[in-house]
Structure 1
Amino acid sequence: MFSECGAGLSFDSKMERVTLPQMSRIAICGGTHGNEMSGVYLVREMQKLKVDQAGSVSITTVLSNPLAVDACRRYIETDLNRCFTNALLSAPLTDSTPYELRRAQELNAQLGPKGSQEAVDVLCDLHNTTANMGVCLIFYSLDWITLHIYKYIQSQMTSVPVRAIQIDVPMSEAYSLESVGKHGFAIEIGPQPTGVVRADIFNMAKEAVDLTVEWIQGFNSGSTFEGGEVEVYTVAKSLDYPRDPATNEITAAIHPQLQDNDFKLLKPGDPIFLSFSGETVKHEGEELYPIFVNECAYYEKKIAFHLARKNTLTFPSLSVKKD
């Protein structure tokens, strides 16, 4: 019924249960983007309190991009969260190598190497978005550990929407920091402006991290977590803003009816942009779900929002593998 997937997974098809080794090392990272402040302050707080152990779990806390944090900028030379493909991690360093690529290789040496048995068991990277995304887990491979943690966080954080996005690319091409761990995911929470920390958003990040550690402790202690179903979103395409063909400047903003409505089904004919001259641009094509709507950092990437499909993933029960 279930195929083998993820790192080192074994699956008993008769019992519909996966067993995995105990997870002893996790990493909590913040400041991969230096102006996304929840992760920055949460990691600093954990370091100040010397939070490095929780029961059977050793916790490593990392400020991923310290120069960008000090400058309160997303990055110094290039986006660190696009530097973790196998090709970039193995690229030779020269005098012209961007700072972030050098830092990516340092993080890979500290927390990985990516794809190896020496890598941390779970890597959780904390991000903020200016879009109204609530709490969102982002991951690559179809990983039973990640899906169970997602289900657990979703079941406990009932006051805010908790959703997940799967990026469907091979792990060798996975470009963000969480791909360095044996199991990994980003926690994206918004809306929060860049360079700002909001108490409510910070507390959501802290609760999600606490629940992640709590789930891993429960798993290590021998608890069996029942299988089930979760909904995840996969990106189908990205839309840019309307632009002036002569100057390439944008000519419209996100329509008020779309603004702040991430994950709300977008149907053909629904308004998506409002031009500066007052004209409405409507959605064409299939019904899809908008995500990262009007994300500040995506202006430079020429992305107004992504459009995603919603899928249901089924996963088995999970327990620790007995020695």
Structure 2
Amino acid sequence: MNGAGPAPVRRGFADTRHGQVHYAEHGTGEPVLLLHQTPRSWDEYRDVLPLLGDGFRAIATDTLGFGESARPAGPWSVEMFATGVLDVCDDLGLDRVALVGHHTGAVTALEVAAAAPDRIRALVLSGMPFVDAGRRRRVARRAPVDHVVPAPDGSHLLGLWNNRAPYYPTDRPDLLDRLVRDGLGVLDRVEDGHLAVNRYRMEERIGLVRSPTLALCGEFDTFSLPDLTKITDAIPGARAAVLPGTGVPAVDHRPEQFAATVRAFLRGTHPCPEPPGEAPAGLAGPHPHHRP
């Protein structure tokens, strides 16, 4: 209908062995699953969904334990997060998907691609740390990223804000508003996603990835930028890209840039020809560490 405006984001729940997983989706076509960082939710991709939904079926999930998804008891692990993703695919009838993950979501996406390589058409790893024995030793001595102790006067809200403020742009307080809201929803386990990543034995799993892979990172993401070369060296044929002008919050800080980079890569791995004017500019070939 003329003048109807853009299609709304659709919401739903998928059944998994660990409980229901909440998701939001936009668009039609080949499915692309979007996995968020700790302690976020699908909301991290709120502005990316309609952009990727123009040409794909973009589905952003709340990782098990976060957002409106079920919260399994006991220790959380990357492997548990990954089984949840595969169960979502089964419940939605998705045989093969492209996976896009950011930070914790990227580590989860890598495990999915390692565990079920025949089901992953393409893989985008955004801001992913390379988790090996050396990193596990380093982070064991590092202060928690998001941990705060609830206080009667509400000062823990400011603590959660201040923990992340150094890594977020000063002119975008709305991004920290959204992170704090998500963090409060999982406050008693706000570090468990990070702990799961820090226990993961990526060095034993990354070599199992067989799908076309793009490793990307914001230029100011000091947590993950140094690991781009390790990632592309470990995954045959992987490409790398650095997103200028952004850092840890690359997804929701620069959604147009993030979506354009992902879309160009996914279309480049698709058998259909690349639309005119949308060549994947800025994507490096196999194995280089491309800097702007």
For CA contacts below 8 A with separation 6 or more, give which structure has more relative contact order.
1
Higher helix residue share: 2
Higher strand residue share: 1
Q: Which of 1 and 2 has greater Rg? A: 1
Q: TM-score of the superposition, structure 1-length normalised? A: 0.27
